[in-house]
Amino acid sequence: MSIVKSVSGNPAPAAAVVSAPVAGHLADARALLDVAAEALDLDPELHELLTRPERSLTVNLPVVMDDGRLEMFTGFRVQHCGARGPFKGGIRYHPSVSLEETVALAMVMTWKCAVVDLPFGGAKGGVRCDPRRLSRTELERLTRRYTLAIHPLIGPQRDVPAPDVNTDARTMAWMMDTLSTIEGASALASVTGKPVGLGGSLGRASATGDGIAIVALELLREAGRRPEATSVAVQGFGKVGRAAAHAFARAGCRVVAVADVSGGVHRAEGLDLADLERYLAEAPNGLLAGYTAPGAEAISNETLLELPVDLLVPAALEGQINGENADRVRAWAVVEGANGPLTREADAILARRGITVVPDILANAGGVVVSHLEWVQDRQGLFWDEQRVDEALHHRMTKAFADVSAVARERNVTLREAAAILAVGRVAEAIRLRGIYP
């Protein structure tokens, strides 16, 4: 009998029913592949190959809890396509984690690595759990058990995990230590996103948020807009949204609204991010709820998405902008900080309304770019200063934006379609060059 707990804490079957947003995310991922395949006149058999992951692993994880109980958790690791190199993708801990969601995210990772031209394929993993209900020691035991279970699939030349939703550098340190213990040798290059003292890269913690700002600023430059005249709203003030907000502020943009799971705050003249950080450092739960400042008003996440701003950055979870609220979005451009924050229906509505969308596979690829740099540094045993990492990130992200923008102009398609065409074309070419064995 399964004793995996749901969000409410009540027992739920290990094979929980997939929610509509998750199932929709997989459908959206496949629909984007269909668009690219049609534009590229992709061979139907190759198209069919790319609709399916190469490998999907489901693991059942017995974990001894602090009170001595044995509790079962379910985890997944999906490898979509390794034609361009070792698989790469994050590990998330969340109650909504499912096989279908993980398949969709692994497919998206394949395109993401290809659009920024990294020598990686796409993978994703996760454990269905509510990390807020687990102690530090329970999280460590869960992580080590999950690492042991997926160990046959991962390694520096096979599959290199990284942090994702509700996982961080500490999680990666546990994974790396477990792999090193199992193998009897250092496994620094087996995971990325580690603490700097354990082979992590300088600049990795803020890389996804920094990359979001880099491509958004390229969009502004291309449109002849000045950062100083740009207002920004960020939904999701976690590690990604937070870093993005600070990067926008450093560039001269006016960050007027931010929100997290507890709600948001809006100030038309711009928020004092340093003051916000001081508040969050002292807040018992580290959330925005209760923050006050002159001229600032509390708002909901839903309200933030409908503010009249230049740049809207949804950096929370999937499906935040959908068919129900897309008509109320008033931003000049949406820059996808999260994976799949717009549904396919919402994407079509925004396109009809002339609202530019910078897709997730381009906008939030900064994390995997610096993960690649970390992997390279670990494998060669030579580490770089932060300036070199930042320069490499900036070069890779601006080049990727220029490549996608050029395809969009040449084919008269949206940036999302252009990114998919570019990415799928690169993956398909790698498969053609390698051939099918045997």
DSSP for 95-106, written as a single string:
TT--HHHHHHHH
- 15 vs 84, higher pLDDT: 84
Is 80 exceeded by the pLDDT of residue 25?
Answer: no
pLDDT for the residue numbered 12? 34
Name the average pLDDT for the chain: 93
pLDDT for the residue numbered 20? 41
Give, in order, the Cα–Cα distances in Å from 279 to each of 8, 283, 291, 328: 29, 6, 7, 31
Q: Where in the chain is the domain with CATH 3.40.50.720?
A: 207-358
Q: Tell me the C-alpha distance between 383 and 94, whole Å.
A: 33
The model's pLDDT over 191-225, given as tens digits with 9 standing for 90+, comes to 999 999 999 999 999 999 999 999 999 999 999 99
The model's pLDDT over 43-74, given as tens digits with 9 standing for 90+, comes to 999 999 999 999 999 999 999 999 999 999 99
The model's pLDDT over 313-368, given as tens digits with 9 standing for 90+, comes to 999 988 899 999 999 999 999 999 998 899 999 999 999 999 999 999 999 999 99
Which DSSP category does 83 fall into?
Answer: T
Q: What is the CATH class of 26-186?
A: alpha beta
The model's pLDDT over 265-283, given as tens digits with 9 standing for 90+, comes to 999 999 999 999 999 999 9
Looking at 3.40.50.720, 3.40.50.300, 3.30.565.10, 1.10.10.10, the CATH number of the domain 207-358 comes to 3.40.50.720
Amino acid at 303: T
Question: Model confidence at 17, in pLDDT bands (50, 70, 90)?
Answer: very low
Composition of the chain by helix, strand, coil, percent to 5: 50, 20, 35
Identify the three-state secondary structure at position 378. helix
Angle at 291 between CA 290 and CA 294, to 5 degrees: 130
Beta bridge partners of residue 81, listed in sequence order: 122
pLDDT for the residue numbered 23? 55
CB 187 within 8 A of CB 179: yes
CB 95 within 8 A of CB 81: no
Q: Tell me the C-alpha distance between 31 and 133, whole Å.
A: 36
* Residue ranges in 97-135 assigned as alpha helix (H): 99-115
**pTM, 2 dp:** 0.91
Question: Model confidence at 26, in pLDDT bands (50, 70, 90)?
Answer: confident
The model's pLDDT over 114-169, given as tens digits with 9 standing for 90+, comes to 999 999 999 999 999 999 999 999 999 999 999 999 999 999 999 999 999 899 99
Q: Tell me the C-alpha distance between 97 and 15, whole Å.
A: 10
Phi, psi angles (nearest 5°) of residue 225: -100, 150
Is 50 exceeded by the pLDDT of residue 14?
Answer: no
Is 70 exceeded by the pLDDT of residue 6?
Answer: no
Neighbour order of strands in the sheet with 231-235: 297-299, 263-266, 254-260, 231-235, 311-314, 333-335, 356-358
Q: Where in the chain is the domain with CATH 3.40.50.10860?
A: 26-186
For the chain, the residue count is 438
Amino acid at 178: T
The model's pLDDT over 379-391, given as tens digits with 9 standing for 90+, comes to 999 999 999 999 9
CB atoms within 10 A of CB 58: 14
pLDDT for the residue numbered 24? 65
* Residue ranges in 206-340 assigned as alpha helix (H): 207-223, 239-250, 273-282, 301-305
The model's pLDDT over 400-436, given as tens digits with 9 standing for 90+, comes to 999 999 999 999 999 999 999 999 999 999 999 999 9
Instruction: Report the catalytic residues.
Output: 124
